[in-house]
Structure 1
Amino acid sequence: MENLSDNKIIEMYRDLLVELKNRNLIRSNNLIGDWDEKLAINFYNENHQLPNLEAVRVGAKNVDAINRDFERYSIKTTTTKMTGVFNGLNDVNSEQPQKQKLEYVIIVVLNKDLSLKAIYELDWHNFLALKKWNSSKKSWYLTVTKELKRKAKILYDTEIQCI
């Protein structure tokens, strides 16, 4: 591939996105975000100890999946320690009570080669306790720390025994 032109690489990426959509492996052009949602939903649906999840429509605010009881899940991925941001929550200095936007957050941790490293689940209460403010993006995020792992339901982790 190193002998291919930049334009040819971009064409290959475009063609790959089309094929991934045709196979229903992704739903938008957000390759990693869509892939982590699919990984998480498949993981839940293949494990009889977990509720079955269904993806919500692309563009839904704050929520990526729901279960049969209509509990809402936000799914975030990281290849580092910091997740993507959670939009639609009160600003850091807001005095308004935070309206509950979801019941659970699923954190999918990928290795640098994009293989699955871990899946953690946080309930709304623990999400609120652990969220951090990103002042440049003016939104909240999570950091995968020892404290988060202690408070989370550890569904999968290559470094420890899980469910």
Structure 2
Amino acid sequence: MLDVIKEAIVMLDSDEKIELYGFLRKSLKDDGAIKTYNVVGDFGERKTLDFYSKSPLLPNLQAVGVGTKYVDAINANNERYSIKATTNKRTSVFNGLNDPDSELPQEKKFEYVIIVMLNEDMSLKAMYELNWEGFLLLKKWNTSKRTWYLTVTKELERKAKVLYDAQSDIAI
């Protein structure tokens, strides 16, 4: 059935595809499949919660409410997780952290960050977990936005726990 729908979508013109995209986005939100209209971020969070719940080696995660600062999920021990999904190698920003020239001690905002790499079709490409200390070592400053982000580099791949990598056939 899905293949038939995909074939029909290919035959639509651009305006019809945009209208369909809007319909699907609203339908996904109405069904609770996504929480906001940040589709990549919501898909990443959904894939993360599902992945963790299916792995006996990982803790079950519970989503926190929309608008919770710095954190997207917690585990049974109340450890906090920030989840960043991307379709390229750069994450969205981490707000609320000290500027690089700050002399204030950095308040710990979460225990772990999960980086979810998605293919253009939103299928899972890779998933990495970094602890707070690893995050602090690898974060990069975005001068124009005055905030921090991560880039998935070979160094990050070495320092993070690789939870899933489609190319290497790694899955915890």
Contact 2:41–2:86 at 8 Å: present in 1 too?
A: no
Q: 2: CA distance between counterparts of 1:118 and 1:2?
A: 31
Contact 2:115–2:128 at 8 Å: present in 1 too?
A: yes
The code of the aligned residue for 1:51 comes to: P
State the TM-score, normalizing by the size of structure 1: 0.93
The code of the aligned residue for 2:77 comes to: D
Q: Give the match for residue 62 of structure 1.
A: 70
Q: Give the match for residue 29 of structure 2.
A: 21
After TM superposition, give the deviation of residue 30 of structure 1 in Å.
1.1
Q: Deviations over 1:133-153 (max 9, x none)?
A: 000111000010111011100
After TM superposition, give the deviation of residue 2 of structure 1 in Å.
6.5
Structure 2 residue 17 is matched with structure 1 residue 12: no
Q: Deviations over 1:35-94 (max 9, x none)?
A: 110001110011111000011000111100011111000000122111111001011111
Q: Give the match for residue 145 of structure 1.
A: 153
The code of the aligned residue for 1:93 comes to: D
Q: Give the match for residue 124 of structure 1.
A: 132
After TM superposition, the structure 1 = structure 2 runs for residues 1-163 of structure 1, keeping only pairs within 5 Å, are 4=13, 6=15, 8-160=16-168, 161-163=170-172
RMSD: 1.5
Q: 1: CA distance between counterparts of 2:13 and 2:137?
A: 48
**Identical aligned pairs, as a percentage?**
58
After TM superposition, give the deviation of residue 19 of structure 1 in Å.
1.1
After TM superposition, give the deviation of residue 5 of structure 1 in Å.
6.2
Q: 2: CA distance between counterparts of 1:156 and 1:3?
A: 35
Cα gap change, 1:11/1:113 in structure 2, threshold over 3 Å: closer, same or farther? closer
Residue-pair matches, total: 162
Q: 1: CA distance between counterparts of 2:11 and 2:145?
A: 35
- Which structure 1 residue ranges, 5 or more long, are not aligned? none
In structure 1, the residue corresponding to 2:34 is in which secondary structure? coil
The code of the aligned residue for 2:113 comes to: V
The code of the aligned residue for 1:153 comes to: K
After TM superposition, give the deviation of residue 114 of structure 1 in Å.
2.1
Q: 1: CA distance between counterparts of 2:95 and 2:60?
A: 25
Q: 2: CA distance between counterparts of 1:38 and 1:162?
A: 17
Answer with 94-103 or 105-114: which moved more. 105-114
In structure 2, the residue corresponding to 1:74 is in which secondary structure? strand
- Of Structure 1 and Structure 2, the greater helix share is in 2
